[in-house]
């Protein structure tokens, strides 16, 4: 994994967009990578929100929303991508390297934030691959607050992270380290194609298939927890059905779908 850095930004001609420069890139596999960008002015957001990125080609500006990985405490903004070969935007972003520019709308959006006012102190976070992004933002933010005494651990996070193979877990090392260091985070990655990943010694199965097992193990129900589902639409539908059967009603279920079935290419 390589991390590179770069210099200054020039200002944007479009008042709705920041012109940002890529300062780091790390490739986790042939089709999964992250970038960090530096904007020309401050960008305020809440953990769990997304930013709209844009790349201009000869014909037009191509735009898509992407969940933010970084914490608002960080000076750079981080994103985690999966390449959709026939997609509109990820192939263009995939070609970008450190030092290249990308556009980003100045206003963040989204309400997939940590719900701390419901009276429930448990938070069941379920995701596939790049769906980990908003959860990393939650965790980095809480971890900094924990270290500074601003968060006492009264909210407990239980994270189930699904992928086909272990090298698709872009943030596994970071999350395992934090989970080892604090009492308020439990992290379980699960691999759905262990026959392609024979060195993997952890949990196996699709994340929605092991969801009920872990909800029961952690004693999480709709009476004491909020559920968050992020990533592939099929996983979200299956996961919602599973959680609804153990009392997670609409008001304690949050979802962030990363693309619409049948429109995969158009959404990326």
3-state secondary structure the chain: CCCCCCCCCCCCCCCCEEEEEEEEEEEEECCEEEEEEECCCCCCCCCCCEEEEEEECCCCEEEEEEECCCCCCCCCEEEEEECCCCCCCHHHHHCCCCCCEEEEECCCECCCCCCCCCCCCEEEEEEEHHHHHHHHHHHHHHHHHHHCCCCCCCCEEEEEEEECCHHHCCCHHHHHHHHHHCCCEEEEEEECCHHHCCCCCCEECCHHHHHHHHHHHCCCCCCCEEEEEEECHHHHHHHHHHHHCCCCCHHHEEEEECCCCCCHHHHC
Q: List the domain range (segments joined by +) for residue 202.
A: 122-266
- Tell me, yes or no, whether 260 and 129 share the same domain: yes
Where residue 76 sits, what CATH number does that domain have?
A: 2.40.30.10
User: Does the residue 218 lie in any domain?
Assistant: yes
**Can you tell me the distance from the alpha carbon of 213 to that of 5, in angstroms, rounded to the nearest whole number?**
43
User: Does the residue 235 lie in any domain?
Assistant: yes
- Structure confidence at residue 39 as a pLDDT band (50, 70, 90): very high
- Tell me, yes or no, whether 168 and 70 share the same domain: no
Q: Identify the pLDDT of residue 259.
A: 67
pTM summary value: 0.92
Where residue 139 sits, what CATH number does that domain have?
A: 3.40.50.80
- Tell me, yes or no, whether 89 and 41 share the same domain: yes
- Structure confidence at residue 15 as a pLDDT band (50, 70, 90): confident
- Tell me, yes or no, whether 49 and 75 share the same domain: yes
Q: Please tell me the total count of domains within the chain.
A: 2
- Tell me, yes or no, whether 98 and 129 share the same domain: no
Q: Identify the pLDDT of residue 14.
A: 73
Q: Identify the pLDDT of residue 4.
A: 34
**40-54: per-residue pLDDT in tens?**
999 999 999 999 999
Residue range 217-228: mean pLDDT, rounded: 97
Range of weakest confidence among 50-54, 243-247, 263-267: 263-267
User: Does the residue 4 lie in any domain?
Assistant: no
Write out the two tokens for 46: 């809440």
């Amino acid at each position: 994994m390589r991390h590179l850095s770069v210099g200054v930004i020039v200002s944007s001609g479009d008042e709705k967009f920041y012109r940002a420069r890529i300062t780091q890139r790390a490739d986790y596999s042939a089709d999964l990578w992250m970038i960090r960008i530096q904007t020309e002015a401050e960008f305020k957001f809440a953990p769990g929100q997304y930013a709209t990125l844009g790349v201009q080609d000869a014909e037009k500006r191509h735009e898509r929303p992407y969940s933010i990985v970084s914490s608002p405490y960080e000076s750079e903004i981080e994103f985690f991508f999966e390449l959709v070969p026939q997609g509109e935007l990820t192939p263009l972003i995939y070609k970008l390297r450190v030092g290249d520019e990308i556009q980003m709308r100045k206003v963040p959006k989204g309400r997939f934030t940590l719900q701390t006012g419901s009276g429930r102190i448990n938070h069941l976070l379920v995701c596939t691959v790049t769906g980990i992004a908003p959860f990393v933002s939650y965790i980095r933010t809480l971890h900094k607050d924990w270290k500074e005494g601003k968060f006492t651990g009264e909210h407990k996070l239980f994270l189930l992270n699904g992928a086909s193979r272990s090298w698709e877990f872009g943030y596994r090392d970071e999350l395992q380290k934090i989970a080892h260091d604090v009492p308020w985070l439990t992290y379980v990655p699960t691999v759905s194609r262990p026959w392609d990943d024979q060195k993997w010694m952890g949990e196996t199965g699709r994340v929605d298939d092991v969801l009920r097992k872990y909800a029961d193990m952690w004693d999480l129900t709709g009476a004491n927890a909020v559920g968050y589902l992020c990533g592939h639409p099929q996983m979200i539908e299956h996961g919602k059905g599973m959680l609804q059967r153990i009392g997670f009603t609409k008001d304690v279920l949050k979802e962030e779908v990363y693309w619409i079935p049948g429109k995969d290419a158009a959404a990326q």
